[in-house]
Structure 1
């Protein structure tokens, strides 16, 4: 519903209010909402489960993304006539899962106690952040080759370096939050969520400032994860931060999805290559889901639970909205030829289609399949500290993104 509302506000001339929003403001608001999502993901990670599922997490991070990228490159060449490099570029655009859809869904699973004993929410949330870094890194490398921007060796090495820097920086900042505010502070419980959010903002925008964009998302998760590791030992320590972030998410959720929907323009969707683009998307998603199902073999999950992981690995939105238009911007700014501009426009069109198709369908599929495919724990759990919580509202169960 929020995506559609944003789409309407962009494309109905009589109420096109989106044109009054500065693109830089929209980008910053999307980043702030993403920071909140990533902090909630960090608070929801279970260190013990993550340690036990490390191998499955790595496989889920790399294999589906790379398989989808290869599938897109081949199908785009056959169906759309893309050169191999442009097909690979499109593959990395489509290869990232959407944390904006997946993380709130996994937090809902934790509150419902669905799949918690098997570690499914932690597995999916942890892998989602690394999956995005892999896709964005691959995109940056191929973009540099296509437009001959920068040193190729540096472009390749920068991705892993960003991941390491993000984890280290986030871990250090999270460690500082063990001691801030001081134990003598009477407002400790109130100040902790504020400091955590400020730390997330600092990490994300500092990474962007030094052009290490891939470090930001991982850094935000690391800040929350490391801070919560200590806070859970205090009474209401991590719980207060989790509750505050949940309340703020109610404010930022419509902003994020409304802005993503507003990125979609009818002229980008209604084009000659739309049906062929849907064909590329269908082929790649089929192979992605099959790969996701296979790579979690050996993680002590049943067939139904592996099927759910494959479904949860479907939605796309945030990353596609962020990097989908980048190639077109480069082509226009560099005064590229008509063929290059046309290819970049098709990349944007398929990215838009992936958002429209997978974000609502993926969110609905997660919400509807979870009670049928996952085992319920003895009691519902608070994602922050594992304590029992009350049942969520019906609105949460319905996943208000729909």
Structure 2
């Protein structure tokens, strides 16, 4: 019996000893794995300086050689275009200068001050290229290239606006959202027309054209600032970030439509009534074509195809860019933007899950065109052509119109369920200008150069006001939102489902 009991005790102890042995072996293997990984990292660090080079040095040399080979290939195909003074060379210089300018502004951070928008660095990079004669004599961009690139950038902005509109958010706050979308834009356009007529001696039609250039708020500044507040829980109980994100897209649409209307009036020889009717025709055509194209992209490509998100993103981008450039070519200036907005909005309603992936691809496309857009705008402004009197009148017109916009926004929000401080915050958050001004400001100048050179003086003043509006309101607006938001808005614990949906839409703005 004793032997039997001892055997049982040994059998009972054996599993525990086996378990401990397995545990020790696993710990030992993990330690060996860690030692192996550390050894590999040390070897990689030590081999960075060996010959031949490894690691990051090797990647840098590889990328540099690839770019050099690509440049040589382009030089062999198109010749002087890639050399200093060529069109492609100038475009590359502007792109990389603007890209670096934006990165510098991202890196330079002041501890107490919120981050400034990178587009300001891109704008200043283009401005520097234009006003440094040694550089600018080698940088030449054809007007047709510049116009096509800006129209493409505008198309991407409208695609993102259409994809980002949330029908549930609009339905939930439709009254307030509509007032905030159209009211301040229209009131600022009218006030800018009034002030520019008496201060800058603009004709009324040029005054309204300038007003709609200024009337658009910049989603590139407002949306990231709102998302930062939303992530920290500020203002989400009353849906303030959601309201401003949704209204910023519609505000841009109102400004672009008004600008296209008065652009056709200014550069047309017909009567005012015929120009208004032609603008309404463009709007009707744009909406109808956008609906048809929106229904098409809802079902093509079908859901059973491979790489569905990439196919849909490519189809939307190609169709919208073709619509905008094609409408510009045949004279339907106001239709292309509406086609883009309506089509992307209808497509987003059907896609649901795939929408976020498509927005990421569109956002990556915007990351390419954003430096080109703001770099090209900066190169349009020459210090030599600016007069001190013109700068003074431009700043006075801009300041007065902006003051009217702030008061109008505060008044329109008085009928909503917001506290006094929240209404002040919304009014001050509605002043940043950048993206649409960068597209529309040069467009008037290019149109005048082609169709009516005697009107180039007015168009240069419009361009100057647009440049100053970006330079003054974009950084100051971002600072006001970042500083006042945490102090004025109430803070909640977590975001609701409505805010989360819009956050995912605009995360990559």
State the partner residue of 2:251. 128
State the partner residue of 1:254. 371
Distance apart, 1:139 and its partner CA: 2.5
Give the RMSD, CA atoms, in angstroms.
3.5
| Per-residue Cα deviation, 1:207-236 (whole angstroms, up to 9, x for no partner) | 32332222222322222221121111xxx4
State the partner residue of 2:139. 19
Change in 2 beyond 3 A, CA 1:156/1:179: same
State the partner residue of 1:358. 473
| Per-residue Cα deviation, 1:251-298 (whole angstroms, up to 9, x for no partner) | 222222222222222134443221232112111100011112222333
- Alignment partner of 1:177: what SS? helix
Alignment of 1:166-245 (within 5 A): 166-232=286-352, 236-245=353-362
Larger Rg: 2
What is the TM-score of this pair, normalised by structure 2? 0.65
Distance, in Å, in 2 between the alignment partners of 1:388 and 1:61 is 19
1:298 to 415, 428, 448: 415
Change in 2 beyond 3 A, CA 1:160/1:374: farther
1:41 touches 1:103 (CA, 8 Å); kept in 2?
A: no
State the partner residue of 1:286. 403
2:190 to 46, 70, 77: 70
Distance, in Å, in 2 between the alignment partners of 1:253 and 1:18 is 22
Alignment of 1:112-151 (within 5 A): 118=239, 119-140=242-263, 142-144=265-267, 149-151=269-271
Distance, in Å, in 1 between the alignment partners of 2:228 and 2:316 is 21
> What 5-or-longer segments of structure 2 have no aligned partner?
1-120
Higher helix share: 2
Equivalent pairs, count: 384
The higher relative CO (CA closer than 8 Å, separation ≥ 6) is in 1
What is the TM-score of this pair, normalised by structure 1? 0.80
> What 5-or-longer segments of structure 1 have no aligned partner?
none
Range with bigger deviation, 313-322 or 270-279 = 313-322
Distance apart, 1:75 and its partner CA: 2.8
Distance, in Å, in 2 between the alignment partners of 1:218 and 1:374 is 35
State the partner residue of 1:36. 156
Distance, in Å, in 1 between the alignment partners of 2:170 and 2:490 is 19
Change in 2 beyond 3 A, CA 1:189/1:113: farther
Distance, in Å, in 1 between the alignment partners of 2:232 and 2:300 is 32
- Alignment partner of 1:358: what SS? helix
2:150 touches 2:373 (CA, 8 Å); kept in 1?
A: yes
- Alignment partner of 1:296: what SS? helix
Change in 2 beyond 3 A, CA 1:378/1:196: farther
Range with bigger deviation, 368-377 or 127-136 = 368-377
